[in-house]
Amino acid sequence: MQKALEQLKKIDAEITALEGAQAVLEWDQQVYMPERGVHARSEQTAGLAAIVHQKNTDPVIGDLLDKLGVSDENPLGSADLEDDDRRLVREIHRDFQRATRLPADLVSKIARVTSIAQSVWAEARRKSQFSLFQPHLEEIVKLSLEVAERLGYEAHPYDALVDQYEPEMTTAEIARVFRELREALVPLVRDIAAARQIDNSVLLKAFPVDRQEAFSRATLEALQFDMSRGRLDRSVHPFTTSLGPDDVRLTTRYDEHFFPTALFGTIHEAGHGLYELGFSRRFRGTRLASGASLGIHESMSRFWENVVGRSRAFWHHFYPVMKAEFPDQLSGVDLESFYRAINRVEPSLIRVEADEVTYSLHIILRFELERMLIGGELRVADLPHAWREQSQDLLGIVPDSDANGVLQDIHWSGGAIGYFPTYALGNVYGLQFTSRMRTDIPAMDNLLRQGDLVPVKAWLDEHIHSVGRSRTPGELCEEVTGEPMSAQPFIDYLTRKYTDIYDL
């Protein structure tokens, strides 16, 4: 058995190294590659992807897992294995099942269909014409159903799709939490809309990009992001990727006339980056050195961006620092006005521009539509209409065009159905973790007021980061908070914060 384990670990290390190489190619493509490099680059990434797929589906993995007693009924394998090893074989088994249940011709068909669909989607969005994209999305929904059937599920085909991004999460569980959120947030947004709106004109002044960049870097340092183990660059769409355990790349983008884009974007990506840099050394070179799920990853980025980065306590220390950097732009603007400006709430059409309160409503809208599409209750042709209806119910506004409605996100054109819920689950987990953190660190707000973020990061390192993928999101939530997933802490947080800000 020991020999089988060693052999399996060797394969796992090879796959992990190859994935690091894939990340280098993709990062370079987004950040540095000249436009015309794209043809050779797609050959390189496709070639490498084929090798990784071959390794991931190698029947030897199945034999080795058998020898270690791993099966669907017994995912942790033999009780004689060490605990870390049992967690590792469970994740190898999970990935192996996923990879081998999808036949190669289905995988390449999806790659072909989505590659065309993405360029058609871009054109359809430019022309704001859903009918162009419709046949491609119909094909993608059909293929997603086939993926769901192949992967297998108990209650709803959407379960199988969500599971790819959020292991062991179900449609019913998401629906339960989103119902609670919806019932609390829709009236909260309505109350805010009836209150006196906040003046945020200070955010719209000209903040020179080079000085924004310097301030973003200083913020990363304050957040204890280790620049000897990472970088910050620019890209059109901000992202974070790991090239290796000591090489985590963040990107951001700058808008001279709206500085929150870069500042909060950088803090958000730093949250992802701190997670990637915080995995236990025991897991180095294995797939346990990765996030537990997309939802947990998003809980870390949103914790830093919103719970810390948009708090009064944080700016108590950092606003004077920022004011010294931008004395002209911020002259005559006191801390309280600044705090309120960065927390202005306004229902808007575009998800990526949404504030902390309305953001989850954008996600609930997409979840409802995806669930109905995959459940056969909604036809793709009726999607724009259904989108407008949901938008009216959830946000009280209706898109003026398909470009600003059903065509705004790239996800569906890439075949990512079941991905959206993870964004809002991040908010939910994040506030559950925060409430536990506040119990463990009662002086948290005082520390933030002094600019001392060390204990907060240390808590996350110990309870979330280091754990990596050795726990499922559900297990992690239970272990850290003692509770299953619950929307209540997030609802309480938003209600308290915005009742104060808007004087409700």
Residues near Zn ion (CB under 5 A) are 301
Closest Cα to residue 358, out of 171, 238, 181, 499? 181
Tell me whether strands 230-234 and 247-252 are parallel, antiparallel or unpaired.
Answer: parallel
Contact 229, 250 (CB under 8 A): no
DSSP string, 136-180: HHHHHHHHHHHHHHHH--SS-HHHHHHHTTSTT--HHHHHHHHHH
- Backbone φ, ψ for residue 291 (5° rounding): -65, 150
On the CB side of 376, CA atoms within 13 Å amount to 3
Phi/psi region, residue 142 (left: phi>0; alpha: psi -120 to 50; beta: rest), is: alpha
Q: Is 405 exposed, middle or buried (0-12, 13-18, 19+ CB in 10 A)?
A: buried
Nearest distance from residue 379's CB to Zn ion, in Å? 31
Nearest distance from residue 235's CB to Zn ion, in Å? 14
Nearest distance from residue 213's CB to Zn ion, in Å? 20
What tokens does 12 get?
């796992």
Nearest distance from residue 294's CB to Zn ion, in Å? 8
Q: Toward Zn ion, which CB reaches closer, 140 or 267? A: 267
Phi/psi region, residue 72 (left: phi>0; alpha: psi -120 to 50; beta: rest), is: alpha
Angle subtended at Cα 332 by Cα 326 and Cα 338, rounded to the nearest 5 degrees? 70
CA separation for the pair 467, 117 (Å, rounded): 37
Q: Toward Zn ion, which CB reaches closer, 301 or 306? A: 301
Nearest distance from residue 397's CB to Zn ion, in Å? 25
Q: Which of 173, 269, 305, 356 is catalytic?
A: 269
Which strand (E) or helix (H) includes residue 251?
strand 247-252
Nearest distance from residue 80's CB to Zn ion, in Å? 39
Nearest distance from residue 453's CB to Zn ion, in Å? 19
CA separation for the pair 164, 367 (Å, rounded): 15
Phi/psi region, residue 153 (left: phi>0; alpha: psi -120 to 50; beta: rest), is: beta
Q: Assess whether 269 carries a catalytic annotation.
A: yes
Q: Of all residues in this chain, which one has the CB nearest to Zn ion in the complex?
A: 301
Estimate the share of the chain in helix, then strand, then coil, as percent rounded to the nearest 5.
65, 5, 30
The alpha carbon dihedral of 249, 255, 261, 263 has a sign of positive
DSSP 151: H
CA separation for the pair 423, 286 (Å, rounded): 26
CA separation for the pair 462, 469 (Å, rounded): 14
Q: Toward Zn ion, which CB reaches closer, 70 or 308? A: 308
Q: Is 237 exposed, middle or buried (0-12, 13-18, 19+ CB in 10 A)?
A: exposed
Q: Please give the positions annotated as active site.
A: 269
